[in-house]
Amino acid sequence: MQLFVIENNVKLGYSAGRLKVKDATTGETVRDLPFADVEGISVYGMAQISTQLIRSCIEKNIPILLYSNDGHYFGHISSSMEEDPVRQKKQVYMTDNLQFCLTWSKAIIKAKIENSIALLRSMPKIYEFSDEEIAGMRHSLHYLQTASTVDEVMGFEGNAAKNYFQCLPKLIRVEDFVFRGRSARPPLDPFNSLLSYGYSSLYRNIIGAIQTVGLDPKFAFLHKLKLGHAALASDLIEEWRSFIVDRTMLRLVNDGMIDANGFYPNDAGAIYMQRSTMKLVNDKLSEVLAKNESYFLNVEDKKRYGFQVALHKKLLLLVEAIEKGDASIYRPFSYQSLGGAL
């Protein structure tokens, strides 16, 4: 279970195998749950965390993620016990292997574009896209395999993403949430705010999963190394973006679960979620990541897995690919394996 704490006036503590959340003013216990059930803690704002709880989380390798009130990620507290220096050394070597990086990049971006097209075409009752409307994505998909460098792959990805975000607003049935293109830093409208928050949450989830298999989140094969960036998580998020985040946010908006009054502008004009909206989004994302959704691992493996298990199994494939120096061993998630049509 992932615990999301969005109230400022609370204290989190540990006692006798229980995680306790108390009102910081009255001392009253507002939540009491078995510590063994906790898989991660995300704190938004200024909630207090006891030293006992921090130590217990480190001992059990349970990450504590720290965010601002409006969802900006600050950092995390976690154990380093699962780091594998031998595996990470091989991982770093592979970042300089041009053929490995190119094969990996083509596979990841191919899956991202295919899944983007599949999502757009999965809701014909809302809007049915013509071949002409998705021509930019089709063009990138067709010529992707001709790329001879990772930079060329990223060029095709950029062209496809531009076309995708031109199409995505047509799947929004609520006028107050219609947007006219992706604005990430900062988000300039409610739907962009939802997307940014969802991508950030998924990104952090993937970082934790990477660490459990002994890899280093900073060293990747598609996205470039830079200070403070978990580039491998940025690689791995690409195949999941549309079906984990975009589809979830479309459902929240189109089903009337949230409305545009649940957002506010800051002094710079960026749009962020009110706490009540943040709680709804966290609850829905938790359901998608941990409970309700299931996926085939790939076309050949017809057993269904929850997202966390599927991600872990894919990371084991990545470990195998790194150790054998063969990026083709990794198989990205594809909506086709769920019976989706392109």
Mean pLDDT by 10 residues, the chain (342 residues): 80 92 91 88 85 90 75 69 83 96 97 95 92 95 95 96 94 87 83 92 86 89 92 96 93 92 87 88 81 53 70 91 96 66 40
The CATH code of the domain that includes 65 is: 3.100.10.20
- What are the structure tokens assigned to 21, written together? 């959340």
Beta bridge partners of 55: none
Number of Cβ within 10 Å of residue 131's Cβ equals 7
Cα distance between residue 331 and residue 44, in whole Å: 34
Residue that is last in its domain, among 77, 93, 121: 77
Do residue 128 and residue 272 come from a single domain? yes
pTM of the full structure: 0.80
CATH of the domain at 158: 1.20.120.920
**pLDDT number for residue 105:** 97
CA distance 303 to 11: 42
Give dist(CA 265, CA 190) in Å, integer.
10
Model pLDDT, residue 72: 61
The C-alpha atoms of residue 18 and residue 36 are separated, in whole angstroms, by: 8
Long-range contacts of 219-222 (CB under 8 A, 24+ apart): 219/88, 219/91, 219/92, 219/95, 220/95, 221/94, 221/95, 221/100, 221/101, 221/104, 221/105, 221/150, 221/327, 222/101, 222/104, 222/105, 222/108, 222/109, 222/150, 222/153, 222/154
Give the pLDDT of residue 115: 94
Q: Looking at the structure, tell me whether residues 186 and 306 fall in a common domain.
A: yes
Number of domains in the chain: 2
d(CA 130, CA 134): 7
Query: Contact at 8 Å (CB) between 268 and 260?
Result: no
Domain around 246: 85-338
Among 57, 55, 75, 51, CA closest to 3: 57
99 shares a domain with 21: no
If asked whether residues 28 and 107 sit together in one domain, one would say no
One domain for residues 24 and 154: no
What stretch of H or E contains 198? helix 190-212
Position 303 scores a pLDDT of 64
Query: Is there a single domain that holds both residue 198 and residue 59?
Result: no
Same domain, 68 and 91: no
Mapping DSSP to helix (H, G, I), strand (E, B) and coil, where does residue 138 land?
A: helix
Q: Are residues 250 and 215 in the same domain?
A: yes
Residues 289 and 326 in one domain: yes
